[in-house]
């Protein structure tokens, strides 16, 4: 029963990650207001927490609840998933740093500065994060069919 619960939590965290990224991507193209900026900041916090839950539950599944780490670490697609997860995390630094800077301005009740150049960079990062997540999903689907073992 515990493996099934862990699998469900893992999938829910993954869906929450995708939802947060898509929502952020849609919101950052709108004219920024204090209310919208607060929502984007809240989404980024939720995204970070969901990402941590995803990796924590995934690690528990790999090491204790599923086929064992020997199985997973001898699968090229699993290693690709971990690599993509790390890349997505690195790419997420720029948007997160942007949103952290916004907090001071929002605390003063003002609209954060979001230049066209910064907006373009944040948008590109969110697009790259979504592409990386799509790659992770593809790897997971192929792994489920027994592909990638070495």
* Cα 23 from chain centroid (whole Å): 12
- pLDDT for 63: 95
Closest CA to 7 of 136, 101, 15: 15
- pLDDT for 97: 98
- pLDDT for 136: 98
Closest CA to 29 of 119, 115, 97: 119
The 10s digit of each residue's pLDDT in 8-45 is 999 999 999 999 999 999 999 999 999 999 999 999 99
pTM of this structure? 0.94
Residues contacting 31, CB < 8 A, separation 6+: none
**Which residue numbers in the chain have pLDDT < 70?**
none
């Amino acid at each position: 029963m515990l493996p099934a619960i862990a699998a469900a939590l893992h999938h829910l965290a993954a869906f929450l990650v995708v939802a947060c990224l898509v929502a952020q991507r849609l919101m950052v193209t709108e004219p920024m207001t204090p209310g919208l900026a607060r929502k984007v900041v809240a989404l980024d916090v939720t995204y970070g927490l969901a990402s941590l839950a995803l990796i924590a539950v995934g690690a528990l599944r790999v090491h204790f609840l599923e086929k064992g780490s020997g199985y997973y670490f001898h699968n090229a697609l699993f290693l690709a998933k971990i690599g993509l997860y790390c890349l997505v995390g690195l790419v997420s630094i720029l948007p997160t740093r942007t949103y952290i800077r916004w907090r001071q301005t929002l605390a003063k009740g003002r609209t954060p500065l979001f230049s066209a150049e910064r907006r373009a960079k944040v948008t590109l990062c969110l697009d790259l994060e979504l592409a990386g997540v799509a790659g992770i999903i593809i790897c997971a689907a192929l792994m489920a069919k027994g592909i990638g073992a070495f």
